[in-house]
Each structure stands twice: as structure tokens, then as C-alpha cells.
Structure 1
Amino acid sequence: MTITTFINLPVRDLLTAAEFFRSVGFTGERPTADATALQLTLNETTQLMLHIASSFEEYTGVAVTDTTTSREVIVGLATDSRERVDDLVDRAVAAGGEALGPGRDTGPFYMRGFRDIDGHQWSFLHLAG
């Protein structure tokens, strides 16, 4: 059985956020019927749903987290190589994201993090085989 992951995030501007994530490697842009959210694809099992804040709040029933003062989640995604980790984070930073320091090599994994243009924290990592 295949399980698909849907990462749901509130954003300030759907089109700007979609452009940012396409720069990182997500593809497509499938808006919802009411145009309050859109879906991007990373691969066959990972989807990203971007929501305008009011839509996200309606969906969750709570206020959107202020990403300047707190974190609601850290999204971590594994890649097939250290070089891919560096490439993805470098692309995110070039598109306006914030680097969270140099890569961390702990032996079992290599990781680098960034914050996207709406302040959500992400980590790309490579697990040593």
C-alpha cells in the first residue's frame, strides 16, 4: 500500500509561495475550486498544499502560527545524496529562503535546513546507507 504525504501550510500569497517552491523542485500548480489553496507535487508520494491564511484557519479551527516567534512544524525530507541536499537548500536560499547554517554531518545523516518565504522551517537530509 502506498501512502501519500500532504504537507499543508498557510502562506501570505499563493502565487509567490508557489513560485518559491517550484524553484526548490516542486512541480505543477493545481488550485482548489475556490482558489484559496493550491497543490504542488514533489514526487509521486509527496504533495504540498498551500493555503491562504483564512482558508487554513477555517480548515484547522485555530489561528495561523506566527512563524517569526514560533514553529508549528519542521518539515524534513530525505534525498538520495548529500549533493542533492546542498542543491535543494541552495535553490531555496536563492529563491528568497533563509539558510539555517551550514550542513550538519552526524555520521548517520547529513542535514541542512532553511526557512521558506513564509517562515516555515524545512530540513533536507541524506541518510547514510
Structure 2
Amino acid sequence: MPQMIFVNLPVKDLEASKAFWGKLGYSFNEQFTDEHAACLVFSDTIFAMLLTEERFKDFTKKEIADARASTEAIIALSADSREKVDELADAALAAGGSPANDPQDYGYMYGRSFQDPDHHLWEVMWMDPSAVQG
């Protein structure tokens, strides 16, 4: 069985978060989704558990970071092309996300970033496969 990753993120409004990611074309695994959590599916092995802040607190003794004021993580997603980077970043901004940083263009690698409605930082990156082979 391939190793999987589940990124756990606190959200203030679960329904708003689900709507945001739904507008970007992503789905949720209903088996792991209820009124306190939603399992956002990126691929067969990559998921984000969007947890209400109340539910998130069940998993930690630490305070929840205020993502408006500090960065707790930057989550990067790969894209198949430069165009797909732009499509996803533009869709995120149109769905209520906000810009995070200027685009990064190194020729062989291109990326854009955005903040979701809870101010978590996301990057969308494309890298030319020939640059990796070499």
C-alpha cells in the first residue's frame, strides 16, 4: 500500500471551506466527512482534513496558530503545466482566496501562491520534467 499524507488544518467555517475547495474542482471523501470535519481529496494518496477549530483542538495541547498573523505551514501542490498553475491559482482567487506572494518563474519551474479563506498558505508549482532528469 502506498504511503499516504493527511494534512490537518483548522477552519473557522467548515461549510465555507468546503465551498471554496469545491469551486476549485476538488471533492470530499464522505466516509470521513461530518459536521466537524471534511476530508478534501487531492489524489489517491494526498488528503487534507479540514477540521473545525473545536475538533482540531482535540488533537493538540498547543494553541491554534492565527494564520492571519503567522505562517504555520506552506502547503505545495504540483500541477501538470504552467497553464494548470494559473488555472488553479486564478480559480482560488475567484472563489474567495487571496494572493499570498508574487509568481515565481525560474524558466524550468513556475509557481503561484494563494491563501484560502482561513489564510492557510498554498503554492501551486510546475517543474519541467527534463530539469529533474538531469
**For residue 125 of structure 2, what is the amino acid of its counterpart?**
L
- Where does the alignment leave 5 or more consecutive residues of structure 1 unmatched? none
Report the equivalent of 1:42: 42
Larger radius of gyration between Structure 1 and Structure 2: 2
> Tell me, what secondary structure is at the counterpart of 2:64?
coil
- Where does the alignment leave 5 or more consecutive residues of structure 2 unmatched? 130-134
Report the equivalent of 1:58: 58
- How much has 1:30 moved relative to structure 2? 2.2
* Mapped contact 1:38–1:51 kept (Cα < 8 A): yes
**For residue 88 of structure 1, what is the amino acid of its counterpart?**
L
What's the C-alpha RMSD, in Å, of the aligned pairs? 1.8
Name the CA distance, whole Å, in 2 between partners of 1:27 and 1:47.
10
Structure 1 pair 77–8 and aligned structure 2 pair: CA distance change class (3 A): same
TM-score with structure 2 setting the length: 0.87
- How much has 1:62 moved relative to structure 2? 1.3
Deviations 1:17-64 (A, max 9, x none): 011011122212526576321112122111121001121122122111
* Mapped contact 2:99–2:115 kept (Cα < 8 A): yes
Residues 1:20 and 2:31 are matched in the alignment:
no
Structure 1 segments of 4 or more deviating over 2 A?
A: 28-35, 100-103
Residues 1:8 and 2:2 are matched in the alignment:
no
- How much has 1:102 moved relative to structure 2? 4.1
Structure 1 pair 70–31 and aligned structure 2 pair: CA distance change class (3 A): farther
* Mapped contact 2:28–2:38 kept (Cα < 8 A): no
* Mapped contact 2:33–2:39 kept (Cα < 8 A): no
Please identify which structure carries the higher strand content: 1
Report the equivalent of 2:125: 125
Name the CA distance, whole Å, in 2 between partners of 1:98 and 1:71.
15
Identical aligned residues as a percent: 35
> Tell me, what secondary structure is at the counterpart of 2:23?
helix
Name the CA distance, whole Å, in 2 between partners of 1:22 and 1:61.
31
Name the CA distance, whole Å, in 1 between partners of 2:30 and 2:71.
27
